[in-house]
Amino acid sequence: MIERDRIFVDGEWTRSSGTGTLTVINPSTEEAYATIPDGGADDVDRAARAAAAALPAWSQTTPAERAEAISRVADILESRADEITRAIVSEVGQPLDQAEFGQTGTAIQDLRITAESVDLVDWDEKVGPTLVHRTAAGVVGAITPWNAPLKMICMKAGAALAAGCTTVLKGTEIAPLSSFFFAEAVAEAGIPDGVFNLVSGTGPSVGEAIVTHPLVDVISLTGSVRAGQRVMELAARDIKRVALELGGKSANIILEDADLEKALVVGMEDAFRNSGQVCGGLTRVLVSRKRLAEAEEIAKATAEAHVIGDPFDPATTLGPVTGAAARERVRGYIQSGIDEGARLMTGGPEAPEGLDRGFFVRPTVFSASNENRIAREEIFGPVITLIPFDDDEDAVRLANDSSYGLAAAIWAADHDRAVSVAKRVRAGRIRINGSPINSRAPHGGFKLSGIGRELGKYGIEEFLEYQAIG
């Protein structure tokens, strides 16, 4: 059992004003793994005051000084990468070999890219006789999710620090240890007191206190649509800026001349990573009607090749979902697909064989209509839906027939044709023929998927304001 009994405020590890603790459950074993302080509004007030006091000096440091400080944090995190990865696997359940890069490696990479990106920001430009200066927007309240705990902290806190902002972070209470590792790295890197503060706790007690605190200027949240709506509602009272990265129901569009097997295998790997608990996962698979039967067989075989089990076992390719409530929700969606008449190709709502403990779900493939609930709502589990289309126009129509617009993928033999289709799809990130995610390019979405962009210089710019001088 790991016990964390302090929060990080004004450069010191200090007792929380709250008297309770929160318990972290290992989703593979269903056993208690760690405890953290259950903080509250008084802790947030101390943290916000510390951040506000540190803002004038930190915002006046040079971009190069801030980049150097962020690079030191990245170095320290990298030196503890094995420890951090094992903690994330124990909290989240993603298989170890996937988490080494998908969780810890990419988080550190993103932080380094943020440090490099300060030189790409136009801090000062002349518009006629006027100097247009970009300056820190103020104190940032960052609220991060459990599915990629370190990565989201690095994306938000790293960009805020690069912009010259100070930060109050509420890391997730479900997978919280990354927030403590990050705070330790900040302290070791010598970042001034009050520039970064950590208050652990729940959304209602700590998250809402951050959003409503009068000294917090900007809110950045990654979470559910419901959480985003609540943040916007509370932030509107004081006209605070908000940046939201919310849900997704992303389309994997496979045109009829594409390499069908590669498109399905790579697309399903994306959809099933972290047991499908990724907001940009390609969970709606749009396939030419002429090739639907072939696609169904490939998808079925691909899903059934997954090995479900202990995430520390090298043979495992699919771990658990995050908790009992998540498991029941995902199984409920699978049952709803069956009840609505969608064709179940493989998987189902039953527990995987031989796994009596842990929050495991069978990898599931449906063939259905875009009108089915399983094709319209974010499931956040290892479930994909194959949906047929007639031509390129129909594929675009189906892709856009969604409340979300976070990500998509296009597969085609002709690259220019794929790009033409991509430009008509209302999604923030669109990959062509399996291209890798570029962490220097912006990440964010349309519609219910959120407001604003993260990563690279675009993430830094979310925390800047313009001044017209002269």
Would you please indicate which residues are annotated as catalytic (active-site) residues? 245, 279
How far lies 398's CA from each of 21, 252, 393, 426, in Å? 46, 11, 9, 11
CA nearest 275: which of 435, 103, 151?
103
Please name the residue that has the structure tokens 């993603």: 94
CA distance linking residue 463 with residue 470, whole number of Å: 23
426 near 400, Cβ under 8 Å? yes
Contacts of 456 (CB under 8 A, 6+ apart): 113, 114, 117, 120, 439, 440, 441, 442
Phi/psi at 46 (5° precision): -60, -45
Sheet holding 21-26, edge to edge: 2-3, 31-37, 21-26
Which residues does 436 contact at the CB level (< 8 Å), separation at least 6? none
- Secondary structure (3-state) at 88: helix
Burial pattern 329-363, b for ≥16 Cβ within 10 A else e, equals bbbebbebbeeeebebbbbebeebeeeeebbbbbb
277, 312, 323 from 326: Cα distances, Å: 10, 21, 5
Q: How many helices (H) and strands (E) does the chain have?
A: 16, 23
